Structure 1
Amino acid sequence: MLKHLPTEMKHDKRLTDKLYVPLPLVQLALKLRSCRWIKVIPAPFVLLFTFHTAHAQDPELKGTVAPVIKTQDTTIRKLMEEVQRITDNDKQNSTAIQALLQGKEIDNITKYELIKNNIINASETYYLLNKKIIDLKSRTTTNNLDVFITSLNNPESKALGFSLSDRIVELVEKIILKNKSDKGEKNSKIVESTKSIINSPIFQSFTSLTPPLAIANSVMNFLHSVSVNNKQINQKSLQDFEKELNKYVVYYTALNDANQKFEYGLNFNKDQLSLLQDNLFDHLSFTATSMKFPAPQKGNQGLSQTMNEYFFDFKKEKVVDYFNQLETKYTKGKRVDYESLLRENSSLKEVNNQLEDLVLQTKRFENLYNEYFTLLDSYYTKVNNSLKIAQDNGLADKSIIDAKQAEFRNLKTEAVGEIQASINIRELYSNTEKIKYRYRIF
């Protein structure tokens, strides 16, 4: 800056002859200080303003660059940075809190909708499962199939071209009496006694499908007892008679075995269905009580009747109405307070979480349903085998056996179709799949 000063200042000479006369810059500063308003301005700003004014007035100072004032104190800057950081954090926290609140609300809505839809669909599943249990429990086969089997096992029937009652009498006359049944009183009594055994009310009252075997056994015992006092009936005659009779016994034994196993299988199937219905009753009672519905009550009547009557009240439409009323109760303004709804009706969560057991019950019914048709298939095979025995033993012509097997096959197909249409297992499948029981709510 010295090179810009006047020559006189460079040589330490004064710019004026007058002593103690201030320099131009000092004069300007003095003038400013004489002003009253300047007294309120801090000294550093006065100097800065003075320098700026002089700089503007002196052409030689216009090219001079103002020095950068650096302060050693960074406290204010750090405080401002900290305030900014806290402000930014507050904004982030506020955004996060809003997101959490919104997420919590969405989560409550999702939970409620899941519970609601599951229980509504479950109400229909209860009804369908009970209805199909009752239907399957009432099944044996079908009327036509029962008539067919009964005719094959009836000693008086000629379904295979012969009557067992007539054949036994013929064998007694031919083998035991050597075709001399009309000769002698003893022979006549043997034939009459044989017919009396066959037509005994005891055998006619049998509810099981075993009359032919009982008749054959009774006739053999009778002939053995008679042979003790009747010399005409020798051991060889009895053996020949028993050999021929056994051809029929083997056929009826095979048919009886088929009938007994099918009946045993059906009874076991029905017992399992009854147990399943008991479990369904308990599960339904829990759900109804949790929703403050009147629970079903067991009385003197059968469980099937109790359940059927209960479903007049506990049905899908009323469950839908229950949730509509619940939403209305917890509506505040234009929105439902799902958080309060779930908190104050926490039993609904447990109902939802227990629906897995209901789904497992439908799976159990499906197994019993399939087992029924497995029983029917096995029964069909065994009856056909018994018919084949009748053919092999010469009891009936092949053409008759073939016709009976074809008739039995058609009746079985008809029975399967009728049962499938009546129970309609797909209806239960489709409704059960709507229950999202895998999603537990806590």
Structure 2
Amino acid sequence: MHFNSMRYLTLLLICLAGTQIALAQEPKPQQPTDPNAELKNVVMPQVRTQDTTIRRIMEELQKIQASDQSNSSAIQGLLQGREIDNITKYQLIRNNIVYASETYYLLNKKIIDLKSRTTTNNLDVFITSLNNPESKELGFSLSDRIVELVEKVVLKGKKDKNDDKSNKIVESTKSIIASPIFQSFTSLTPPLAIANSVMNFLHSVSINNKEINQQTLKDFEKELNKYVVYYTALNDANNKFEYGLNFNKDQLNLLHDNLYDHIMFTASALKFNLPQRGNKSLGETLNDFFFDFKKEKVVLFFDDLENKYTKGKKVDYEALLRENPNLKEVNNQLEDLVMQTKRFENLYNEYFTLLDSYYGKVASALKIAQDNGLADKSTIDAKQSEFRNLKDEAVKEIQASINIKELYNNTDKIKYRYRIF
């Protein structure tokens, strides 16, 4: 505005100077010497020149005035646009952080839930029953079958009440099977350990018993291997599922640690009391923390912040953003939180992939039992159908408990792609 005023003043001076020059150059009127002298001095070229100069100066002044008004409007528009830009930035930050507080809570809850999962109780009971050497789920007991094989194949049906050697072999076999050592084994190991121990026992007995030759032992081992192959396949299925679960849990633990670090950063920026782990587990620590750090409290934080920067009836968003740069940084770090939810989604899906693979391997083991004549087809079909139903029930139970869609819907509200500087 100072520059424009100077232009006005300069043009006015030019105008006055031009007028003075024109007047100075105008010839002084002389006394007429004849009657026609007045007519000769009616129109003077200098007057036209003077009128044109003034008109041009006035036109220039009008242009300058119009330009000044346009510039003033533009400046006001820029100021208004800047204010709108600050409001937009603030609203984006506020909404993102409010939604993020809910996402923190949901992600923590679902990580804890998935970490606690192995299988359901019914599915565990089913697998345990197949693992039990005394179980007759497939129509036979491994313990009984081993004793029968010893009597029929090794002793060739010659067992007699008065035959001390044969009786001792049978009783020793039963003693091995009933050993409490095998009861402490986990997974599907007991049947395999029992079969291996009985085989080693018979090999040692054959050294001093001429009736138990190498061919007899081979025949016994061939029949015993029909069971061993089935239990080995079942054991492989269980071990791979357990390994997969442990790896899944390790990844969930790592994700939980990363979530904790992210929550610490955000809580610090919003001036909340930070969660203290102490001797508590991470899950317990965060569960306690979310009694205070929750969506309602975050909304209240922003309400108080707006009140602090309210002047008259307007919030000074520019000052608010300038004096609280940590809010921008929290907003710009939310991409990492969204990536954490996607990582959880992957681990969640991997769990069901593990369960599907587990079902397929158990079904294959049951088919081996059928092919080896350990159980008839109708029994195997019934067991496979039972296992499939139990697996489907487990899937539905976990899906209902974790409710991954709830996490999707909340995370989608976070506009993390809009970074603010």
TM-score by length of 2: 0.88
CA displacement at 1:77 relative to structure 2: 3.1
Could you tell me how far apart the structure 1 residues matched to 2:244 and 2:108 are?
21
Check if 1:195 corresponds to 2:185: no
Please state if 1:155 is matched with 2:107. no
Amino acid at match of 1:417: K
1:126 deviates by: 0.2
Q: Does 1:299 align with 2:290?
A: no
Which residue of 2 is the match for residue 72 of structure 1?
49
Alignment of 1:115-126 (within 5 A): 115-126=93-104
Alignment partners' CA distance in 2, 1:384 and 1:115 = 53
- Equivalent residue for 1:7? none
Tell me the distance in 1 between the aligned counterparts of 2:243 and 2:277. Answer: 28
Does the alignment pair 1:103 with 2:89?
A: no
Q: Secondary structure at the match of 1:79?
A: helix
Q: Which amino acid aligns with 1:153?
A: N
How far the C-alpha of 1:316 sits from its partner, in A, is 0.5
* SS state at 2:48 partner: coil
Q: Does 1:413 align with 2:392?
A: yes
Identical aligned pairs, as a percentage?
A: 78
Deviations 1:147-186 (A, max 9, x none): 0011111111000000001000000011001112334111
1:290 to 266, 269, 276: 269
1:380 corresponding residue in structure 2? 359
Partner residue, 2:184: 205
SS in 2 for 1:72: helix
The one-letter amino acid paired with 2:128 is: T
Give the counterpart of 2:245 among 260, 266, 270: 266
Q: Which residue, out of 123, 128, 139, partners 1:145?
A: 123
| Number of the residue aligned with 1:224 | 203
How far residue 68 of structure 1 moved from its aligned partner, in angstroms, is 8.7
Q: Which amino acid aligns with 2:137?
A: A
User: How big is the shift at 1:107?
Assistant: 0.5
> Aligned AA for 2:78?
L
| Alignment correspondent of 2:310 | 331
2:18 equivalent in structure 1: none
Superposition deviation, residue 196 in structure 1: 1.0
- Any gaps of 5 or more consecutive residues in structure 2? 1-25, 30-38
Distance in 1, matches of 2:376 and 2:420, equals 69
Structure 2 counterpart of 1:176 = 154
Between the aligned partners of 1:330 and 1:262, the Cα distance in structure 2 is 57
Q: Distance in 1 between matches of 2:270 and 2:71?
A: 40
Match of 2:372 among 387, 393, 408: 393
* 1:263 CA displacement: 0.3
Q: Aligned-residue CA RMSD in angstroms?
A: 1.9
User: 2:143 maps to which residue?
Assistant: 165
Distance (Å, rounded) in 2 between the aligned partners of 1:199 and 1:81? 117
Q: Which aligned segments of 4 or more residues in structure 1 are displaced greater than 4 angstroms? A: 66-70
2:364 is matched by which residue type in structure 1? Answer: N
Question: What is the rounded CA distance, in whole Å, between the counterparts of 1:208 and 1:260 in structure 2?
Answer: 7
1:359 & 1:187 partners in 2: Cα distance?
Answer: 71
Q: Give the 3-state SS of the residue equivalent to 1:178 in structure 2.
A: coil
State the shift of 1:294 in Å.
1.1
What do residues 343-400 of structure 1 show as CA deviations (whole Å, max 9, x unaligned)? 1111000000000000000000000000000000000000000000000000001110
Quote the residue 1:28 is aligned against. Answer: none
Residue 256 of structure 2 corresponds to residue 277 of structure 1: yes
How many angstroms apart in 2 are the aligned matches of 1:335 and 1:200?
Answer: 83
Name the counterpart of 1:429.
408
* SS class of match (2:135): coil
Instruction: Please report how far the alpha carbon of residue 199 of structure 1 lies from its aligned counterpart in structure 2 after TM superposition.
Output: 1.0
Give the letter aligned to residue 92 of structure 1: S
Q: Which residue of 1 aligns with 2:33?
A: none
The separation in 2 between residues aligned to 1:89 and 1:297, in whole angstroms, is 63
CA positional deviation for 1:71: 2.2
Among residues 215, 223, 230, which one is paired with 1:236 in the alignment? 215
2:229 to 245, 250, 268: 250
Which residue in the other structure is 1:342 paired with?
A: 321
Supply the distance in 2 between the matched residues of 1:210 and 1:300 (Cα, whole angstroms).
36
| Residues paired across the two proteins, number | 383
- Residue 67 of structure 1, CA deviation: 5.9
Could you tell me how far apart the structure 1 residues matched to 2:267 and 2:211 are? Answer: 79
> CA separation in 2, counterparts of 1:139 and 1:303?
17
Partners of 1:76 and 1:209 in 2: CA distance: 110
CA contact (8 A) 2:188 2:231 kept: no
Runs of at least 5 residues in structure 1 that lack an aligned partner in the other structure: 1-43, 48-60
Give the Cα separation in 2 of the matches to 1:247 and 1:205: 24
Amino acid across the alignment from 2:81: G
Give the residue type in structure 2 aligned to 1:382. Answer: K
1:277-323, Cα deviation, whole Å (9 max, x unpaired): 00000000000001111111221111111111111110001001111
Instruction: Choose the corresponding residue for 2:300, options 321, 341, 347.
Output: 321
Structure ID, larger Rg = 1
